[in-house]
Amino acid sequence: MEGQSKKAMTIAKLQQVKHNSGKNYNQIAAETGLTNVYVAQLLKRQAQLKPETAPKLKAALPELSDEMLQEMMHPPLRSYDPNLIQEPTVYRLNEAVMHFGESIKEIINEEFGDGIMSAIDFYCSVDKVKGMDGKDRVVVTFDGKYLPYSEQKSEHMVSRLRSEGS
Amino acid sequence: MEGQSKKAMTIAKLQQVKHNSGKNYNQIAAETGLTNVYVAQLLKRQAQLKPETAPKLKAALPELSDEMLQEMMHPPLRSYDPNLIQEPTVYRLNEAVMHFGESIKEIINEEFGDGIMSAIDFYCSVDKVKGMDGKDRVVVTFDGKYLPYSEQKSEHMVSRLRSEGS
Amino acid sequence: MEGQSKKAMTIAKLQQVKHNSGKNYNQIAAETGLTNVYVAQLLKRQAQLKPETAPKLKAALPELSDEMLQEMMHPPLRSYDPNLIQEPTVYRLNEAVMHFGESIKEIINEEFGDGIMSAIDFYCSVDKVKGMDGKDRVVVTFDGKYLPYSEQKSEHMVSRLRSEGS
Amino acid sequence: MEGQSKKAMTIAKLQQVKHNSGKNYNQIAAETGLTNVYVAQLLKRQAQLKPETAPKLKAALPELSDEMLQEMMHPPLRSYDPNLIQEPTVYRLNEAVMHFGESIKEIINEEFGDGIMSAIDFYCSVDKVKGMDGKDRVVVTFDGKYLPYSEQKSEHMVSRLRSEGS
Amino acid sequence: MEGQSKKAMTIAKLQQVKHNSGKNYNQIAAETGLTNVYVAQLLKRQAQLKPETAPKLKAALPELSDEMLQEMMHPPLRSYDPNLIQEPTVYRLNEAVMHFGESIKEIINEEFGDGIMSAIDFYCSVDKVKGMDGKDRVVVTFDGKYLPYSEQKSEHMVSRLRSEGS
Amino acid sequence: MEGQSKKAMTIAKLQQVKHNSGKNYNQIAAETGLTNVYVAQLLKRQAQLKPETAPKLKAALPELSDEMLQEMMHPPLRSYDPNLIQEPTVYRLNEAVMHFGESIKEIINEEFGDGIMSAIDFYCSVDKVKGMDGKDRVVVTFDGKYLPYSEQKSEHMVSRLRSEGS
Amino acid sequence: MEGQSKKAMTIAKLQQVKHNSGKNYNQIAAETGLTNVYVAQLLKRQAQLKPETAPKLKAALPELSDEMLQEMMHPPLRSYDPNLIQEPTVYRLNEAVMHFGESIKEIINEEFGDGIMSAIDFYCSVDKVKGMDGKDRVVVTFDGKYLPYSEQKSEHMVSRLRSEGS
Amino acid sequence: MEGQSKKAMTIAKLQQVKHNSGKNYNQIAAETGLTNVYVAQLLKRQAQLKPETAPKLKAALPELSDEMLQEMMHPPLRSYDPNLIQEPTVYRLNEAVMHFGESIKEIINEEFGDGIMSAIDFYCSVDKVKGMDGKDRVVVTFDGKYLPYSEQKSEHMVSRLRSEGS
Amino acid sequence: MEGQSKKAMTIAKLQQVKHNSGKNYNQIAAETGLTNVYVAQLLKRQAQLKPETAPKLKAALPELSDEMLQEMMHPPLRSYDPNLIQEPTVYRLNEAVMHFGESIKEIINEEFGDGIMSAIDFYCSVDKVKGMDGKDRVVVTFDGKYLPYSEQKSEHMVSRLRSEGS
Amino acid sequence: MEGQSKKAMTIAKLQQVKHNSGKNYNQIAAETGLTNVYVAQLLKRQAQLKPETAPKLKAALPELSDEMLQEMMHPPLRSYDPNLIQEPTVYRLNEAVMHFGESIKEIINEEFGDGIMSAIDFYCSVDKVKGMDGKDRVVVTFDGKYLPYSEQKSEHMVSRLRSEGS
């Protein structure tokens, strides 16, 4: 992971550009047509900037240099500091995932079949709603494509080697 | 955690009752007015059955004995097998939480202030939607009350001890 | 994971059936049209038996009872003993993955774009070939669908909540 | 966690300001109306300085620059060095929490119901008292709002997606 | 730790006795003059029953046999299941200890000197109070003797060996 | 591992040379007759450059200095950052290895005998194929020499010490 | 690893047979022509008994049943209890390996080239010698085939898939 | 632990002062009346220098500046590098503690009651003796105050909150 | 470690014999001439009973059967439950070892040379003394032979293989 | 471990001196009469240079300055990077130790008694031999003094404190 300190420097610059713009993630999301979480991921180099989106991001954050935009279009090496689990917001999300994990899996099995929710063909957003008691609530939505486990039929495995003797 | 093997036995019985009923979590959820994930949590002893909900659950799953219902009304000791992280569905949820964690936290800070999403005053559901390409997608919704960090003012801390000399 | 000891008993029975049949994984694979690794996964309850494949498996292993076949058609909770990493064959595969991991990732990025190899729409086989020196070689093939990271556009996120005020 | 080294530098400066002032945490707490632990958290960037408290803190620590105060008003990324558990005072608190944990949980269940003590709407103080034997004793008080687990009723989950077919 | 399964059986019996009595920890605490947490620790074999307290406990829980009381008077091997950290109440206490740990330590140093709060000469209680907003709050109090680090003077070390040549 | 920071610097230079050349791994592989993964390993100092291959690599990447080529001919200390497991591509390969590990081992035993697949006399490549559905698929091939466990006969152990008395 | 408790029972029986024979590992090694460590591995099911060696082992340990011999001829799943590292003899071997590891690696590189010592084509023995001071010394010999890293040439990789377009 | 790199620099200076003095720990211990281990702890900032001892230490190590002495009088944040366990001397002490731990605990229980040996009111020394065979032996003495577990009586807990309704 | 459950059963029997005798470790130590810790280790199968000591132990604990004595004369597989570190007495000993470890090592180097304290040729005892304040103190003594690191001269290594060409 | 970065610098210098000399470890070993592994340990500061060996090493590596030789004569703090276990040569040695560990231990018990192989009075060498098939083999020899566990007799423990009342 030789590029990790370079990545850290890029992120620092991107955060500075955002800070200078005075805009928050939701505003940039609205201007670029992206989810707020995805904008944040772009500015942390946890997602790749697509060529057709680059001009929109440049329009939202004019201080972004062409070099930065170029850098943002490389597929990143996705990573996180393991100590991030200490952060109370992150911990509580993790707590929910681990304590509810088996239930979520079984409902997916019942409703879709033997498969999973993709974390790659995946959308995430954070929203603010009012609860029944009128108090603010945070809504984190995870929306991923359903991927059924493939049945591994030999004839469907185009890469299959002809075994010895064949 | 002396009650853990007792808990395992209770869960086995509850799962048998559900299996015998031929109903899935969504059906029971519809009949009881609960989210599908919450129904699954109840049948895994990861949530407490409320007295007013007991009759509805009994109606949905008539094989539930009064003893089981009684047991389900005790606050559970929430836990999970650490190896659950190996399960591909659970891992991908965890991957999303860890890779998107800082972004989610920062958006909460921007939109709500310095606080977190509660995992206690919290709802979770699993839904099935069609994506833009007509393919099935899994939607996991985490909806928790926003909890602002309290500023710790001495006069607001009713439990505060009078310090020496006071 | 309340079903894990039940799973262990099922696996013991399945392995006994295979042993009694006198057939190896390759033979069962040839008779059922599945990859050899997938057959082994089925007999370890690490994969779901599909209804249309059940008769073929029954033909290959006639001692399989209907109850066992029924059980094999439930989506399994996939898991492994963490100590399996001690096993020399497994360790060497893991060593290759970890030491070659960044290289594999970067070639995928160069040849396909920003995405990954799915482990769900996935095939695996073990083959035997003769090397240039006439000695036996083991070939393990991992063949997974390429999954590009989705760009998270708000308009494409059908599950998106309308935010407050909208 | 790109901001962690910046955070370390801020903390060093804040500690220097405190040191130069010659005041201890209790004195600053008395002057600002905050708990002593909260003052320490502020000067370690583990809590957010509220705008209305900033002038009081400035009054107590006049050497604090406006830039520092500005920085202190951002929500911090809460974290700690995992090796802190080695520190004898911290270990003993952790020992008490882990050895008494189940008992504390069960008493909360008996006295309040199925819920927890919040660590967010939370106060903490350290006090000095004389024991029955006239010797000094340390009193650490943890005072958190009781949060009952929500029963997850579909109709109360305002964020709930209408499921397919609805 | 050859006595751990014996300990588990003892705890199961003690919990049954408490359950049969219909009393909660606070009631038993009131009848025995002990803190509520300490009563719970006694009934989990995490504390030693003192001979002079045995009759009071017997009076509060008459179903306790002499054999059980005898067993409770042995010094226990204190322990806990490491997975207990998953339990949300226990995690939040641990979160507070780790995130506030350095602050607590420094205030102890300022107010008492170089020393720690003992976890042995130690009291713990759980209380219920009303917050400023009239809502219930949990108060966990840790009250331990201050122990100053000894300066290790040779003449004060009565166990000191005479070194070679002396 | 005193040479690790030197190694990091060498890798940064090698990656720069590749970047300047405008060639990808597959192109360099075609020009040098090596697998694409092996080329990537060479440019990450995870493999030793052989003297007879050095001119071919120099021809493919003329910017490589003699000093760099010299450095690349030293046996490297093979290593990786343990956090690499977080990277989604690497994780999925690891997931496949761990979940399929026992099956792969047993098929090797059935087809070859009691032995393993070498990770030293080993080839790895990444290929792109079209699946049955016309979609791109990633094929990772692991091809290692079969190594049978030696039966440890004393007479075959040439290093054997004559034992006492012999 | 469903066969692990079966493995434990087999080992218990094998150790009983050895105990009843009154022979130690060295005696059995002498009678079978195997190294002493290998005999111990056979009787712990950490190595496969070869058909031609079975009669010799039967001769040395006549109490071995045909069923046991049959079982011993299956390739074992090699494993160990991770707590074995606590055992002082095992720890000291591990200490030597870790503290001397880099030195051993570099000498192999200097004397053989870029490769490793195989742990599969491998012999191990324990011997007793007298040191210069006449005191007993333990000699553990590790003797493994040198395995050079293969240069991964495409033309030598017989399993190589023809890439798209070829 | 913002002060850790400052601590490292202080230690380097203190070790230099000791080195320049040409004295070993035992000599400084003799001149200051402290145990040898305590002197070493002082020069590693693992113990606080007491004001009345400062002049003696200054006399023993005249090169110590007033600034250093001042620094040494602050309560340190006690810590260690977790890799220290690799060091053979430290490992063997740890091995003894873990393998003999239960025995030591039970003897303390038999001889003193339900309590522990304090690590705070604690002395440690390293001595050299001749064994029965005339060979040198290392004697490490741990001498700590016996701390009995307190029985947690409500009336003795001066910090106890009056519970609701009282 | 196939003998671990057998070991647990043996220990349970030995502890019962001790309990029935009504003697504590110190009394048995006095009657057998062993250290108190060593007696406890014998009754936990963490040390080997020597033939000449067996009659003395039998005299002290007449209920010991010949079979038990026989079992106690086998070299044990030394081990401990890793959770033992939770036990407060054991933790504090470990805390002292880790926090004082470097100091102890350096004093051994100064007083003895480059070597360690053996944990094998080793004595341990627990004693009760009165401190300067008249309070009870626990003294744990670790007394191990000094082992100097050997300089590894080829001519002194009697096991050395003649290298190729010699 | 304040000296670790200083140690790293010393090692870099020593490796440079060796590199400049053009000699390998075996040559230096032959010139100094040390084992090849020990020479490597000296040049990595994992062993102490003895005064009488210093001139021989200086003769073999004349570029060694007196300052370096002086530094090499201090007892080192032995350590290693935990990630070294990833290195394939080191892993395979570790694999052998862990998988063969119990067997080695039991043979030592049978042949020597209840004791261990010292890792301090210890020799290690790496040799090259031809196997029965004429192929190169690596031989790693571990040769350590046998250390019997001492029986802990009170009268033999010269450090023993007289217990209270004596």
Q: What is the DSSP string of chain J?
A: -TTHHHHHHHHHHHHHHHHHHT--HHHHHHHHTB-HHHHHHHTTTSSPPPTTTHHHHHHHSTT--HHHHHHHTSPP-----GGGGGSHHHHHHHHHHHHHHHHHHHHHHHHT-SEEEEEEEEEEEEEEEE-TTS-EEEEEEEEEEEEEPPP-BGGG-TTPPPPTT-
Those residues with Cβ within 8 angstroms of residue I119's Cβ, 6 or more apart along the chain or in another chain: G88, H92, H93, H95, H96, I144
Q: Which of I81, C77, E88 is nearest to A104 (CA)?
A: C77
Which is more confidently placed, B4 or F116? F116
E128 closest CB neighbour out of H121, H152, H163: H163
Q: Which helix (H) or strand (E) holds B136?
A: strand B136-148
* pLDDT: which is higher, H161 or F32: F32
Strands (E), chain D: 115-130, 136-148
**pLDDT category, E5, cuts 50, 70, 90?**
confident
Pairing assessment for the beta strands C136-148 and G136-148 based on DSSP bridges: unpaired
Q: Is I137 helix (H, G, I), strand (E, B) or coil?
A: strand
Per the rule left: phi > 0, alpha: psi between -120 and 50, beta: everything else, J113 is left
Residues of chain I with pLDDT > 90: what percent?
89
pLDDT at D134 over 70: yes
- Based on C-alpha coordinates, what's the Rg of chain H? 21
- Asked if J153 has any chain H CB less than 8 Å from its own CB, the reply is no
pLDDT at F1: 52
**What pLDDT score does F21 carry?**
98
Contact F107 C139 (CB under 8 A): no
Q: For residues C75-91, give the mean pLDDT.
A: 97
CB contact under 8 A, C88 and J98: no
Residue H58: pLDDT band by 50, 70, 90 thresholds?
very high
Residue I47 has pLDDT above 90, yes or no: yes
Share of chain H above pLDDT 90, in %: 89
Provide the 3-class DSSP secondary structure of residue F127: strand
With beta carbons under 8 A apart, name residues in chain B contacting E129.
158-159
Q: Rounded CA gap, D38 and I159, in Å? A: 66
pLDDT of residue E2 exceeding 60, the answer is no
User: Contact partners of G by the rule of 3+ C-beta pairs under 8 A?
Assistant: C, F, H, I, J
Least confidently predicted of A55-64, C1-10, D83-92, J148-157: C1-10
* The predicted structure's pLDDT at residue F2: 53
When pLDDT is averaged across residues A124-131 and rounded to a whole number, the result is 96
pLDDT band at D6 (very low <50, low <70, confident <90, very high): confident
CA distances from residue F158 to F132, G117, I130, J125, J139 in whole angstroms, order as listed: 54, 15, 63, 16, 10
DSSP letter at A145 equals: E
Whether the CB of C135 is below 8 Å from some CB of chain J: the reply is no
What was the pLDDT predicted at F91? 98
Smallest Cβ–Cβ distance between I88 and the set E2, E78, E159 belongs to: E78
DSSP category for residue D149 = P
Beta bridge partners, G147, equal G116
How is residue I1 annotated by DSSP? -
**Residue H34: strand, helix, or coil:** strand
Q: How many CB atoms lie within 10 A of CB F56?
A: 16
Residue G79 φ/ψ region, left for φ over 0, alpha for ψ in the -120 to 50 degree band, beta for the rest: beta
Lowest mean pLDDT segment, chosen from A113-122, H101-110, I6-15: I6-15
Does residue I130 surpass a pLDDT of 70? yes
* B12 → closest Cβ in C2, C77, C120: C2
Q: Is the pLDDT of residue D143 over 90?
A: yes
User: What's the CA gap between D10 and G45, in Å, rounded?
Assistant: 60
| Confidence band of G113 (pLDDT split at 50, 70, 90) | very high
- Residue ranges of alpha helices (H) inside chain A are 4-21, 25-32, 36-42, 54-60, 66-72, 88-111
Q: Is D24 on the interface with B (CB under 8 A)?
A: no
Give the pLDDT confidence of E35-53 residue by residue, as tens digits. 999 999 999 999 999 999 9
Q: What is the pLDDT of residue G3?
A: 66
Catalytic member of E65, E78, E87, E92: E92
Nearest to B95 among F88, F98, F99 (CB): F88
Res. H99: pLDDT tops 50: yes
Mean pLDDT on I122-138: 96
Say if CB G145 and CB G122 are below 8 A apart. Answer: yes
- Is I86 an 8 Å CB contact of chain D? yes
Evaluate the CA torsion angle D37, D42, D47, D51 in order and state its sign.
positive
Q: Name the average pLDDT for chain F.
A: 94
- Rounded Cα gap, residues C106 and A76, in angstroms: 10
The model's pTM: 0.95
Structure tokens at I135: 């309070």
Q: What is the pLDDT of residue J148?
A: 98
Encoded tokens for J153: 């007799």
Minimal CA–CA distance to G62: which of G13, G9, G21?
A: G21
Rg (CA), chain C: 21
Q: Give the whole-angstrom CA distance, residue E135 versus residue D143.
A: 12
Please check the confidence at residue G129 and state whether its pLDDT lies above 70: yes
G90: contact with I, CB 8 A cutoff? no
- Condensed to tens digits (0 to 9), the pLDDT of residues F44-76 reads 999 999 999 999 999 999 999 999 999 999 999
Q: How far is CA F136 from CA C126, C148, D37, F9, F159, in A?
A: 22, 10, 58, 35, 53
Helices (H), C3-133: 4-21, 25-32, 36-42, 54-60, 66-72, 88-111
Q: Taking Cα atoms as reference points, which of E43, F67, C51 lies closest to residue D100?
A: E43
Residue E51 burial (CB count, 10 A): 9
What is the residue-averaged pLDDT of chain G? 93
Rg (CA), chain G: 21
What pLDDT is recorded for position C100? 98
pLDDT at G140 over 70: yes
Contact E97, D79 (CB under 8 A): no
Query: Which pLDDT score, from 0 to 100, does residue A3 have?
Result: 66
| Cα distances (Å, whole numbers) of residue H29 to A162, H32, H53, I66, J2 | 78, 5, 11, 52, 22
Structure tokens at D164: 């397919």
Per-residue pLDDT tens digits for D48-86: 999 999 999 999 999 999 999 999 999 999 999 999 999
3-state secondary structure F29-97: HHHHCECHHHHHHHCCCCCCCCCCCHHHHHHHCCCCCHHHHHHHCCCCCCCCCHHHHHCHHHHHHHHHH
Residue B163 has what pLDDT? Answer: 43
Q: What was the pLDDT predicted at E4? A: 72
CB contacts of J86 in chain C (<8 Å) are 95, 98-99
pLDDT tens string J99-152: 999 999 999 999 999 999 999 999 999 999 999 999 999 999 999 999 999 999
Q: CB contact, 8 Å: D53 with chain B?
A: yes
Task: From the candidates B87, B95, B137, B160, give the one annotated as an active-site residue.
Answer: B95
Helix, strand, coil percent values for chain A (each to nearest 5)? 50, 20, 35
Structure-token match 């009713």, residue found: B158
Written as one string, the DSSP assignment of G102-158 is HHHHHHHHHHT-SEEEEEEEEEEEEEEEE-TTS-EEEEEEEEEEEEEPPP-BGGG-T
Beta strand segments in chain I, E: 115-130, 136-148
G40-65 pLDDT tens trace? 999 999 999 999 999 999 999 999 99
Task: Give the pLDDT confidence of A9-37 residue by residue, as tens digits.
Answer: 999 999 999 999 999 999 999 999 999 99
Can you give the pLDDT at residue G158?
Answer: 85
Flag whether pLDDT at B2 surpasses 90: no
With 0-12 / 13-18 / 19 or more C-beta atoms within 10 angstroms meaning exposed / middle / buried, residue C8 is middle
Q: Inter-chain contact B154–D35, Cβ cutoff 8 Å? A: yes
pLDDT level of residue C1 (50, 70, 90 thresholds): low
Write the pLDDT tens digit of every residue in C99-109: 999 999 999 99
Whether E33 has its CB under 8 Å from any CB of chain B: the answer is: no
pLDDT score of I6: 85
Name the nearest CA neighbour of C126 among F101, F123, A155. Answer: F101
CB contact under 8 A, B101 and A87: yes
Per-residue pLDDT band for D163 (boundaries 50, 70, 90) equals very low
Per-residue confidence (pLDDT) for residue C165, from 0 to 100: 37
Q: How far is B126 from chain E (nearest CA, A)?
A: 22
Q: Do E150 and H120 touch (CB under 8 A)?
A: yes
Neighbours of I18 (CB within 10 A): 20
ipTM of predicted assembly, 2 dp: 0.94
Contacts of I52 (CB under 8 A, 6+ apart): none
Q: Kindly tell me if the per-residue pLDDT of A163 is higher than 50.
A: no
C99 contacts in chain J (CB < 8 Å): 86
Q: Mean per-residue pLDDT for E111-120?
A: 98
Largest CA distance in chain C: 73
User: What amino acid is encoded at J156 in this protein?
Assistant: H
In this structure, is the dihedral angle defined by the CA atoms of residues I101, I107, I110 and I112, taken in order, positive or negative? Answer: negative
CA within 13 Å, CB half, D157: 28
